[in-house]
Structure 1
Amino acid sequence: MSSSVLLLSMDPSDPSFWKEFLVGMLKPAAATSVVLMAVVLSFFQKLGLEGEMVYAIARAFLQLSVIGFVLQFIFTQKNAGWIILAYLFMVSVAGYTAGQRAKHVPRGKYIAGVSILAGTAVTMFLLVVLNVFPFTPRYIIPVAGMMVGNAMTVTGVTMKKLREDLKIQKNLVETALALGATPRQATLQQVKRSLIIALSPVVDNAKTVGLISLPGAMTGLIMGGASPLEAIQLQIVVMNMLMGASTVSSILSTYLCWPVFFTKAYQLEPKVFTAD
């Protein structure tokens, strides 16, 4: 039995539990040397990301240390309420993070949260209805986490890029509006561009999966003793659901952005496009 599996099976009140925990954290601690390299490079390149890098790694360390035990508890529960609670928590954090990335979009956190919720919920519903995954914590929570994470990244990029393009091409959009175009018609090219830029990494990842990157889900199953066929089937499902959820979330975010980008008179909202 591996040390990580042994640790999860132990009682935290047992003194040997914390000994195993500290020993197991030696390798992750040693791996922070790679982060130190990134921090040094950021400093010499004057990127100003040193503090954010250190904060991100420290936060990830703390979050993963806690969430492992939380997942162990949830996986043993048979109440569907825990699945929904964990899912809504992930969506809330993802919406906040994506909204922070597109911080100049009014109500950006709300728009991102609703978009991510809708995109991932629809995808998850289809997977459950089609009996691709059983509605149990061990399946739904990891799958939902992957979908929410990808939808968060794509949605944040879509909103940020759309706002930037509209600001740069403000005169072009205003001319189209003055000639009688609707907000959708006036911003069609900007919307397309933002969606293409945001979704391109997801599409490229699907094209090169197995050739450049080895998927964690498939590799983990094979290492765990599952048949290659079973692992391949699972990874295909994962890639399909990531693309579906990301596409729905990003497209919906553009629709939800229009009310905050335009006034009721179908004019660009000055406050949105004057901020740096």
Structure 2
Amino acid sequence: MELEWLREFLKGMVKPVAALAVVFMAVTLSYFQRLGLEGEMLYAVFRAFLQLSIIGFVLQFIFDQSNVIWIILAYLFMVSVAGHTAGQRAKHVPRGKYVAGVSILAGTAITMFLLVVLNVFPFTPRYIIPVAGMMVGNAMTVTGVTMKKLREDIKMQMNLVETALALGATPRQATLQQVKRALLIALSPVVDNAKTVGLISLPGAMTGLIMGGASPLEAIQLQIVVMNMLIGASTISSIMSTYLCWPSFFTKAFQLETNVFSSN
């Protein structure tokens, strides 16, 4: 009985292993086209297999415990990794990893709190961890793009910003257009995805439910909730990141911190 879970796991891996055939097809095509991606493809597939297998066992352990502490620890781990990744995307933003981490934490925590209070999801590991993972992943992408684009736009328009500051504008007023542009670029994919959901492709959550045996109507209901929460969390996180970036972009005398914009 002690090895029953291992037997079930190995039995369930038959289809994923069979699906490697399409990977080998891609590797073969890469080889004949001389793309040089064969090693990277195999490494990516192996890493995905290893990571997903480990996280599967970890989630199974957390689900069996049903303890709030494990939910919080899993959530904070996801936020930490996401903050680190988004900070690397905006590597020229001072304290970028800290800014990204706090922004992602704020956006996802506020959204999750509202969902739980409104009884949309019960506060259990089986619901909270997958939902938090989707929100953190989207907030990570949006936050990284926002920070990176904001710095680039201010750098390209330093003369305009400095002129506005010289005329008495505050940092917020002087960079208002740059902030708007960064937010629009970062949030547009999330909004566009919501507009076309179900028309171009079936989202992952909805597809998983249907393949798991749920009715299409039940799957649609969950997907609507998912799209709503992704828009909410992404918007809060991206806006928060712009506010946290400002202190690094300006001196205490309301002048541009030229050292921040000197590197490419």
TM-score between the two structures when normalised by the length of structure 1: 0.86
Deviation at 1:65, TM superposition (A): 1.8
Q: Which moved more, 1:80-89 or 1:53-62?
A: 53-62
Map of 1:100 onto structure 2: 88
Aligned pair count? 264
- Structure 1 residues 55 and 98: CA distance shift in structure 2, 3 A: farther
Map of 1:32 onto structure 2: 23
- Structure 1 residues 51 and 117: CA distance shift in structure 2, 3 A: farther
Kept after mapping to 1: 8 A contact 2:145/2:186:
yes
Deviations 1:250-271 (A, max 9, x none): 0000000001111111111111
Deviations 1:152-205 (A, max 9, x none): 000000000001111111111111111111100010000000000000000000
5 Å matches for 1:78-117?
78-117=66-105
Kept after mapping to 2: 8 A contact 1:222/1:228:
yes
Kept after mapping to 1: 8 A contact 2:27/2:38:
no
Match of 2:171 among 183, 208, 211: 183
Instruction: Tell me how far apart the structure 2 counterparts of residues 171 and 224 of structure 1 sit (CA, whole Å).
Output: 57
User: CA-atom RMSD, angstroms?
Assistant: 2.7
Map of 1:5 onto structure 2: none
Q: Give the aligned residue type for 2:210.
A: I
Map of 1:7 onto structure 2: none
Deviation at 1:63, TM superposition (A): 1.1
Q: Give the aligned residue type for 2:152.
A: E
Kept after mapping to 1: 8 A contact 2:87/2:98:
yes
Deviation at 1:12, TM superposition (A): 5.3
Unaligned runs of 5+ in 2: none
Map of 2:107 onto structure 1: 119
Q: Give the aligned residue type for 1:251.
A: I
Kept after mapping to 2: 8 A contact 1:11/1:17:
no
Deviations 1:30-73 (A, max 9, x none): 343466479679975xxx99987666544333211211111111
Q: Give the aligned residue type for 1:240.
A: N
Deviation at 1:77, TM superposition (A): 1.5
Instruction: Tell me how far apart the structure 2 counterparts of residues 183 and 201 of structure 1 sit (CA, whole Å).
Output: 28
5 Å matches for 1:226-265?
226-265=214-253
Kept after mapping to 1: 8 A contact 2:89/2:145:
yes
Map of 1:192 onto structure 2: 180
Map of 1:150 onto structure 2: 138
Kept after mapping to 2: 8 A contact 1:43/1:50:
no
Instruction: Tell me how far apart the structure 1 counterparts of residues 32 and 255 of structure 2 sit (CA, whole Å).
Output: 44
Map of 2:189 onto structure 1: 201
TM-score between the two structures when normalised by the length of structure 2: 0.90
Q: Residue 76 of structure 1: SS of its match in structure 2?
A: helix
Kept after mapping to 1: 8 A contact 2:27/2:41:
no
- Structure 1 residues 95 and 268: CA distance shift in structure 2, 3 A: same
- Structure 1 residues 129 and 225: CA distance shift in structure 2, 3 A: same
- Structure 1 residues 274 and 220: CA distance shift in structure 2, 3 A: same
Map of 2:56 onto structure 1: 68
Unaligned runs of 5+ in 1: 1-9
Q: Residue 264 of structure 1: SS of its match in structure 2?
A: coil
